[in-house]
Amino acid sequence: METVKRRDFLRAAALASGGLALSPSMLSAAANPAAAPLTGIKTRPEVQNAWSFHFFSKHLQFLDYAGAAKACAEAGFDGADLTVRPRGHVLPEKVEKDLPDAVKAFEEAGLKIEMMVSGITDAEDPLTEKVLGTASQLGIRYYRMGYYSYEKGLSIPENLDRIKGKMEGLARLNEKHRIHGAYQNHAGSRFGAPVWDVWEVIRDMDPEWTGCQYDIRHATAEGNRSWPLGLELLQKHIRCLVIKDFRWGEQDGKSREINVPVGEGIVDFPGYFKKLKAYELRCPITIHLEYPMFPRDDMSLEEKYGTAVELMKKDLAATKSYL
């Protein structure tokens, strides 16, 4: 109880001390132990009794580190899935200076940064080891890799061999720095869209250090009713998850994906979480708000902040309802 009280005090104090004006009701909600998020992260084979929830900081890049931390705290998240990539919250070339500042801002809000989204695809890139080493030293345990594309002129097997060589180099760095590197499956024509190609590349790598950041939204878009097969194939390599939703729509006579709040689309979340529990997967979850967040372009910073927090709360509550 002392730990809970201290965390909630830090969270409320951080909200109160920032530059944004927050109402007493906001502060009360932030400090309410009954609304405290679930905590604790353990990787397999140990299975935890609780999930942890992190917010993709791409959607909060209109705020500085302290502002983003306050938004995550007020919305009830355990931390952020911080963008450490070109045009991200932290630029890779400034990682040694700026990442500690970002982590400190979240700690002062009573939260942690245990996940990050990177553009890392090559162990030979001079910035790769600097980013991974700095992140690991700061307690970040999971990072999302950058994306690979299928090169024209090469066959599918040749492309897989090329990508496997790149990921094997990263796998060695991951183990060296004790950080898990995860490749996100993403709908489209890049590597990772069919899901089976990710498994083909990582199947022999140590899942403790290299795996898949499984995205059920994109798996549904590509697999419709066959996504459970891909999940079963990859489940031993999954250490973190992405949650978001979508529905099909039509534009210019063509079918397209329309991103919507969690629970308002076609993703089978009840069936999905049932399978995760059957596989004994208790992973950190990162929630993405890929749908339009702001109704007007001329909204003030305070208006954007308030709108973002309410949407964050809504998707977090919907996600927890499926658990």
Question: Where do the structural domains in the chain lie, given as residue ranges?
Answer: 2-321
Would the pLDDT of 43 be above 90? Answer: no
pLDDT for position 23: 35
- Dist CA 5 CA 8 (whole Å): 5
Q: What does the pLDDT look like over 131-153, one tens digit per residue?
A: 999 999 999 999 999 999 999 99
Q: How confident is the model at residue 25 (pLDDT cuts 50, 70, 90)?
A: very low
* Alpha-carbon dihedral angle through residues 43, 45, 46, 47, given to the nearest 10 degrees: 80
pLDDT for position 212: 98
**Mean per-residue pLDDT over the chain, rounded:** 88
- Dist CA 231 CA 195 (whole Å): 8
pLDDT for position 29: 37
∠262-288-248 over CA atoms, to 5°? 50
In the structure encoding, which two tokens stand for residue 294, read together?
């702001």
At residue 99, what are phi and psi to the nearest 5 degrees? Answer: -65, -40
Pick the CATH number of 2-321 from 3.40.50.360, 3.40.30.10, 3.20.20.150, 3.40.309.10: 3.20.20.150
Q: How confident is the model at residue 323 (pLDDT cuts 50, 70, 90)?
A: confident
Is 278 in contact with 41 (CB distance < 8 Å)? no
Q: What does the pLDDT look like over 89-116, one tens digit per residue?
A: 999 999 999 999 999 999 999 999 999 9
Q: What does the pLDDT look like over 261-291, one tens digit per residue?
A: 999 999 999 999 999 999 999 999 999 999 9
pLDDT for position 34: 33
Q: What does the pLDDT look like over 147-178, one tens digit per residue?
A: 999 999 999 999 999 999 999 999 999 999 99
Q: Which residue has the higher pLDDT, 34 or 201?
A: 201
In the structure encoding, which two tokens stand for residue 30, read together?
């932030």
- Report the chain's terminal Cα–Cα distance, integer Å: 24
